[in-house]
Structure 1
Amino acid sequence: MVSAALGLAVFGTATVATAEVKIRVQSVIPAKADEVFMLNDFANDVRALTNGEVNIEVLPAGAVVGVKETLDAVDKGLIEGGFAWTHYWSGKHPAAMLFGSPVAGAGVGIDNIAFLSWFQYGGGKELYDQLWDEMGMNVKGFMLQPVGPEALGWFKEPINSMDDFRKYRFRTPPGIPGQTYKDIGVASVAMGGGDILPALEKGTIDAAEWCCPKPDSVFGFQKVLKHYYLQGLHQVVVNADMYLNKDVYNKLTDNQKKALEVAANASLSKAISYRIYENGKALKDLVENHGVILHDTPADYFPAYMNAAKASLEKNAKENEFFAKVWQSQKDFAAIAVPFWAGAQASNAALGKAFADSVK
């Protein structure tokens, strides 16, 4: 009787055991990048939350397909997952920019923390899920890593005005943020991260932006350029995300899907926390040990870029119904949230600046 009961218990356990799911996620950036470090942290959380059932293996850029083919490869099932920034796929749909890097804070004063409020509680996530259907992609997306605000960029000489800025061939991100630079007379050149430093060394471009102090220092900008400007508008908000082939996602259990959701929400918070400290350490090192000179961005840059960004947003909203829908959602959110958040942030900024000035 006892042996029969044990047999039933063992049989019962065997029937509920879940097979391991392996998900290969190819990044669009090298393995040493901070974003990949945080992506691996997300993968560790998923593994722990699923008791080892779901294992995400992070592959570096180009491991299976080329960087530009990453999303298509996920759609077709050549790889189970991909990792990039949503605006990388603006060529497939202009609204991708409104999720990956809504230019100039979507033109309505949204910073990365306010963006998360819109995404999680203001209807943004539902629109994000709809984006992949609008693209015709067989993909389930997960927003993971807020990055902004990004620095204006690196220059070989100081720039004191927009006239100075317009003298340089400047690497920018693809899509509307880069196009907006062209609209204000800057020779904007879009290129992938791995091509930037060689292009600077060869003189193909004269100046460049990538991200923030830590990722920029990992790329090695300080080796070829010394003048660094932190304040920029092109990517005040930046968000990196992971894409799973939807057939792979649909085969997961409800608990495994919930684990991905919970780990993604945790990643949104952890990425911001990680960035603040890591960028602070990197900026200190750049200035103190690598001869980097930190400058304030010329005042005439801000109205020029903001006005051009708004014009570009309005143009795209007129031309694309889904773009208009997403942007209207962001504007409606901003009308409620930004007056409060901007006022609250003014106190934070004044407090921080007072301490930063004392450190100088």
Structure 2
Amino acid sequence: MRLTTLLATAAIAATSLAAQAQEHSFRFQSSDPAGNPNFEFQQGWTETLKEMSDGNVVVELLPVGSIVDYKETQDAVGAGIIDGHITDTSYFAGKDPAFGLIANPVGAWSSPAEMIDFVENGGGAELMNELLNPYGLEFIGVSTPGLEAFVSKVPLEGVDDLQGLKVRTPEGLIANVFRAAGAAPVNLPASEVYTSVDKGVIDAADYSVFSVNQEVGMNDVAPNPVYPGFHSLPLVEVSMNKAKWDALPDDVKQMFRESVKRFQQTQVDSLRERDLAAVEEAKAGGEITVHDWSDEERARFRGIARGEWEKVAAESQMAQKVYDTLNAYLESKGLIQ
């Protein structure tokens, strides 16, 4: 009888463990398409998490648009339609301008490390949860595809060279900052940038990271790129349904955080290496001059941008809180005066 009882108890325990493992299966949706390099890094995160948990925490990562539109994932996660998402936070600026300001405070960052430190040690993570929790989401961690380079036909050594520059930018904060810096923003779709630069319709463009610009030939028609860039670095969040997060054991929560940190480091380091290789390729050709703005010129542009951040801050209570926290961080690091 004892043996029978022990076997029955073991069977119940095994069933319980299996049920626990099943509880830790999730579906996340990305804002990137399958095959995109960023999506591949995100898939690497799911593999890391599975390995760390001995197969007990499994995330099925779906490409953009699989369940809902990329601008609807926040609502879908909050409603439990999907369990989480990996996405550019700026997509939700329509809900609160604070999302746009924290996602890409144009001109604030000169490297991914600065933005990451702000999120992890400067109050950014707390702001993200203050923003996300009311929508039923929990912020887990951050990554980024990197600081965009700047495409230019003419030499740009600093802010003064932006005067009158016809520059392609998306509408919104980026265009407003460049306009405040003296440039003449032009709103064009990405598909028209190469031709517009080549034909002289525009002088410069906010387009992509250096390696992408080099790959598509953008630097050939605009041989004065600025690298590292000085304007745009997107915050990509990894978040999940808050109720499901709260129900997780502490050790599983820790595995989520640690695996996202590994994903972040892998993505940032790999893309930086790709950019540096592209820079060397561009320089070796002898026809492209890579310009690197001084810390002083970057600070000048950041100071101009702050005036535009301030306008966004006036639009909501949370935007003001993001503005105050961001400025306090930048001042503490000597990045702004």
Interval containing the TM-score (normalised by the shorter chain) = 0.7 to 0.9
Partner SS state of residue 233, structure 1? coil
Partner SS state of residue 103, structure 1? coil
Residue 251 of structure 1: how far off its partner (Å): 4.7
Aligned partners of 1:33, 1:167: CA distance in 2, in Å?
32
Partner SS state of residue 97, structure 2? coil
Aligned to 1:320: 316
Give the gaps of 5 or more residues in structure 1: 343-360
2:206 is equivalent to residue 213 of structure 1: no
Distance 1:14 1:75, change over 3 A: closer
2:116 is equivalent to residue 116 of structure 1: yes
Structure 1 residues 252-297: Cα deviation after superposition (integer angstroms, max 9, x where no partner): 4443322212212333333333233222123223444796553456
Distance 1:114 1:305, change over 3 A: closer
Q: What is the aligned-residue RMSD (CA, Å)?
A: 3.7
Distance 1:303 1:242, change over 3 A: closer
- For normalisation by structure 1, the TM-score amounts to 0.74
Distance 1:40 1:254, change over 3 A: same
Distance 1:335 1:187, change over 3 A: closer
1:52 pairs, out of 51, 55, 61, with 55
Give the gaps of 5 or more residues in structure 2: none
Partner SS state of residue 169, structure 2? strand
Contact preservation (8 Å) 1:145, 1:239: yes
Contact preservation (8 Å) 1:105, 1:111: no
1:186 pairs, out of 158, 179, 183, with 183
Partner SS state of residue 278, structure 1? helix
Aligned to 1:277: 273
Aligned to 2:307: 311
1:139 pairs, out of 137, 140, 161, with 137
Aligned to 1:350: none
Structure 1 residues 150-196: Cα deviation after superposition (integer angstroms, max 9, x where no partner): 31x22355567867764534034x642332123334343567xxx51
Aligned partners of 2:24, 2:215: CA distance in 1, in Å?
33
Contact preservation (8 Å) 1:34, 1:215: no
Structure 1 residues 52-108: Cα deviation after superposition (integer angstroms, max 9, x where no partner): 2332233333333333334344344443333222223223222223432223227xx
Aligned partners of 2:213, 2:77: CA distance in 1, in Å?
28
Provide the identity percentage.
Answer: 22
2:151 pairs, out of 129, 151, 154, with 154
Aligned partners of 1:32, 1:216: CA distance in 2, in Å?
18
- For normalisation by structure 2, the TM-score amounts to 0.78
Aligned partners of 1:53, 1:4: CA distance in 2, in Å?
27
Aligned to 2:26: 23
Partner SS state of residue 35, structure 1? helix
Partner SS state of residue 26, structure 1? strand
2:45 is equivalent to residue 42 of structure 1: yes
Amino acid at match of 2:48: D
Residue 130 of structure 1: how far off its partner (Å): 0.3
Aligned partners of 2:328, 2:82: CA distance in 1, in Å?
37
Partner SS state of residue 229, structure 1? coil
Aligned partners of 1:12, 1:137: CA distance in 2, in Å?
37
Aligned to 1:199: 192
Aligned partners of 2:105, 2:165: CA distance in 1, in Å?
26
Aligned to 1:268: 264
Aligned to 1:9: 10
Q: What pairs with 1:122-133 in structure 2 (closer than 5 Å)?
A: 122-133=122-133
Distance 1:45 1:307, change over 3 A: same
